[in-house]
Amino acid sequence: MNYHIITYGCQMNEHDSEKIAGMLESMGYQETDDHAGADIIVFNTCLIRKNAELKVFGKVGSLKQLKEDNPEMIIAVGGCMMQQKGPVDELYQKYPQVDIIFGTHNIHKLPSLINQVKHGEERVIDVWEEDKGLIPDLPSKRRNKFQAWVTIIQGCDNYCSYCIVPHVRGSERSRPLEDIVDEVKKLVADGVIDITLLGQNVNSYGLDLDDDYDFPDLLSELAKINGLEKIKYMTSHPKDLSDKLIKTVARNDNISKHFHLPVQSGSSRILKAMNRKYDREHYLGLINKIRDNIPDAVITTDFIVGFPGETESDFEKTLSLVEKVRFDMAYTFAYSPREGTPAAKKADQISSEEKHRRLQALMDKQNQISYEVNQELIGKEIDVLVEGESKKDPDYFSARSDGNKLVIIPAKTKKLIGNIITAKINEAGSWTLYGDIVNN
């Protein structure tokens, strides 16, 4: 029996898919790359932008014939999109090929939902509005032996006015520090050297708990674990990034010097309308503080262009912020109205053409800066974790720097995979660095 999982969206979803894979394997299923040959196909969906939703409907729609030819095949759809009534109703009514609909708060129930369908139930919908504090620790099928994701906080309380996440992932719930430390110790004993801590806003870790610890305290505890060579985390909210965090990162060699700090806009007026709770000056002050304490910090960000009411002058402030900060990299998005969020109700929506013009102008500027910043690395020696064969060419390995930059190196020996080695950079583009292996 084979399974195939299709994942959309962020790392939280990728990590949930690892847990789904773990459960399916314990039921006796094996992973297949070929969805047509699968006995069960699971969709883990995203709804952060309209495009993500359209992709899911398109892909589920394309399976109609396959399901007609093979009625025994089970199609299950879960993830953030299923936490909203609209998409659930549409899937249920217009896509009879879907057997199971489940939510983000009850992924642990998937095996029993599959069994219900196998034992004759026609179609099942089981979506919880909240997690009821019941989600057990689920074994993950990790993408490799040496890296792992670890969730530290679920949900988000920030209610940025454009964002659907708090509406579907619920309010912030931190995991107790001891549970996280235990999990990481087990992972390290199992060969993991590189972990990424996950949360919609890791900086508010611990604030919802009675105990008196915060995110920097958690990092300091984890940094003490022998054999744990790299601790990464995402995502940080600029309003909550503390001096204590910067000092903790600066002090510990095994904490990544990468700050992914989504700014969204360079205009204080738009930031206020977005309910981001910081302004341009605060953000620029943070960047200075990070660079004063950690000169080689890699700083990346997210931008949304075309937020309702964004004028040309607001957009120019975004462009000027890009020039001022000189980010290593930025994810750039055109604003996508999400039903149920305050921004979607605003009258002054920007036309699609204008949003895309601004998006292109922003991408052009950032790509040029990424190129220039990466060029400065040529001739330098940096530590990289060798992740595996390069997707494009098996004669090369892909590796990641401390700042998460992709570094392509010659595939010398398989023994390098899973180790941190030194590479000398000899070529650099906006997205990728190329290097040679030094003394390994």
Contacts to ligand SF4 by CB under 6 A: 156, 158-160, 163, 165-166, 200-201, 237
Q: Which helix (H) or strand (E) holds 264?
A: none
Q: Which amino acid is at 355?
A: K
Task: Measure the CA–CA gap between 236 and 286, rounded to whole angstroms.
Answer: 12
Burial of 12 (C-beta count, 10 Å sphere; 0-12/13-18/19+): buried
Is 88 annotated for ligand binding?
no
**149 close to 196: Cβ distance less than 8 angstroms:** yes
Tell me the per-residue interface mask from 334 to 373 with ligand 5AD, x by CB under 6 A, - otherwise. -xx-x-----------------------------------
Is 109 annotated for ligand binding?
no
Which of the listed partners (ligand 5AD, ligand SF4, none) does 233 bind, with a CB threshold of 5 to 8 Å by partner kind?
Answer: none
- Which residue's C-beta sits nearest to ligand 5AD? 302
Which C-beta is closer to ligand SF4: that of 156 or that of 407?
Answer: 156
Is 80 annotated for ligand binding?
yes
Question: For residues 83-97, b (16+ Cβ closer than 10 Å) or e, as one string?
Answer: bbeebbeebeeebeb
Total residues found in the chain within this entry: 440
Q: Binding of ligand 5AD at residue 302 (CB under 6 A)?
A: yes
Least Å distance, CB 203 to ligand SF4, is: 10
Least Å distance, CB 357 to ligand SF4, is: 24
Least Å distance, CB 11 to ligand 5AD, is: 10
Identify which of 305, 401, 422 has the alpha carbon closest to the alpha carbon of residue 355. Answer: 305
Q: How many angstroms separate the first and last alpha carbons of the chain?
A: 42
Q: Binding of ligand 5AD at residue 175 (CB under 6 A)?
A: no
Q: Which stretch binds ligand 5AD (CB under 6 A): 277-285, 291-299, 333-341, 354-362?
A: 333-341
Footprint of ligand 5AD on 33-92 (CB under 6 A): 48-49
What residues does 384 pair with on adjacent strands? 401, 421
93 sits in the region (left: phi over 0; alpha: psi -120 to 50; else beta) called alpha
Which of the listed partners (ligand 5AD, ligand SF4, none) does 166 bind, with a CB threshold of 5 to 8 Å by partner kind?
Answer: ligand SF4
Q: Binding of ligand 5AD at residue 262 (CB under 6 A)?
A: yes
Beta-sheet pairing, 420-428 with 381-389: antiparallel
Binding-site residue set for [4Fe-4S] cluster: 10, 46, 80, 156, 160, 163
Binding-site residue set: 10, 46, 80, 156, 160, 163
